[in-house]
Amino acid sequence: MKALKLVGLLVLTLIGCDEHNPQPTDYVLLHTDFEEQAIFPPWEYQGNSESFEIVTENPRKGTYCAKFTIDAGELWTSPYSGIQTARSEIQHFDVAPAQQELYYAWSLKIPTDYSESSDWQVVGQFHDQPDYANGERWENYPAHSPPVSFTYKNGKIGLTVHHPFETGTVVISERTIRKGAWNDIILRIYWSTKSDGYIEAWINNSPMTDDSGEITRYQFRNLYNNAGNYLKLGLYRSNAITTKNSVYFDEIKSGRTFADVAND
C-alpha cells in the first residue's frame, strides 16, 4: 500500500476555528480529489497528525483518496478549549453562504473491517460560526449542534438536521450501505436564516426519503446567522468508543447544479 502521511501537520493541528475565519465575505466552490496529494490550505485539519493519510487504497476516481483513522482510545486535545474529542476531520470555510442554493457531493467508503458501535459517529457536518458583522466572536460564541450532519451506525448512513434555536434533532432518513464500497452522497441545500431553507439528498443516485418514502425535500431554518456554515468531513465519534476505525473520502465537490457535482 502506498500512502502519504502528512507528518508536517503539527502546525496544522493547532489551527482551530477560533481566529482563522474572522468574517466570511464570499464563498468558494469545492473540487478536492486528493490527486495532488496535499490539500492544505485551504482545508484545515483537526486531529492527531498520524490520523490522516492520502492513500492509494482503491480510490473512487484517479489514484488517491483520503483516509481518516481514530485509534483505540485516541483523543485530540483542542489547543484553544483544551477539550478532548475523538476526531480526525478536515474543514473548509466559505462554502455554505446565507441565502444561496448550492449542491454538495462527496464519496464515502466504510471498510468491511469497521468495528461497529451503537454509539454516535459523525462522518460529515455543516457547522455554524459567529457573525462578526453582528458583533459575535469565537471567544464567546456558544456551542451548537450542527444544522446538517451525516451519521453512521451499524451499516446505515443517517441524514440528520438540527433546528437552530430549537430543541431536538431530527433524523430525516437512514439508508443501509454496503461496506467496502464507495457511496456517493449528493446534497441540494438552500441556506437560510428563515423557514424557507431546505435540504434534499441522494445516496448512490437514489433520493433519501423520510420513513413514509414520500418526502424528499425537508424544509427548515438551517443557519444560526448570516455568516453561513462551514463543512467538516472525516470521522468524529463518541469518546466512549475504544476501537480503531478508519473511513475513506474522495471526490469532494460543490456547485450550482446537480450535474456540477455528480460523478460519472
Q: 134 exposed, middle or buried (CB, 10 Å; 0-12, 13-18, 19+)?
A: exposed
**Could you tell me if 2 and 58 are in contact, meaning their C-beta atoms sit under 8 angstroms apart?**
no
Query: What average pLDDT does the segment 13-23 reach?
Result: 38
Residue 66, all three cell numbers: 483520503
10 vs 199: which has the higher pLDDT: 199
Task: Please determine, for residue 82, whether its predicted confidence score (pLDDT) is greater than 90.
Answer: no
> What is the average pLDDT score of the chain?
89
In tens, the pLDDT along 39-81 reads 788 899 999 989 999 999 999 999 999 999 999 889 999 887 8
Q: What pLDDT is recorded for position 126?
A: 98
Side-chain-side CA neighbours of residue 85 (13 Å):
17
Entry pTM: 0.90
Q: What pLDDT is recorded for position 79?
A: 84
Q: What pLDDT is recorded for position 140?
A: 87
Query: What average pLDDT does the segment 139-145 reach?
Result: 90
Element (H, E) at 31: strand 31-32
In tens, the pLDDT along 235-244 reads 999 999 999 9
Smallest Cα–Cα separation from 199: which of 107, 92, 104?
104
Domains of the chain from N-terminus onward: 3-261 (2.60.120.200)
Q: What pLDDT is recorded for position 25?
A: 53
Task: Please determine, for residue 206, whether its predicted confidence score (pLDDT) is greater than 50.
Answer: yes
7 vs 51: which has the higher pLDDT: 51
Q: Which residues pair with 34 in a beta bridge?
A: none
In tens, the pLDDT along 20-46 reads 444 445 789 999 999 998 878 889 999
Q: What pLDDT is recorded for position 197?
A: 97
Q: What pLDDT is recorded for position 135?
A: 93
Residue pointed to by grid coordinates 424557507: 196
Task: Please determine, for residue 119, whether its predicted confidence score (pLDDT) is greater than 50.
Answer: yes
Query: What average pLDDT does the segment 99-106 reach?
Result: 97
**Could you tell me if 196 and 219 are in contact, meaning their C-beta atoms sit under 8 angstroms apart?**
yes
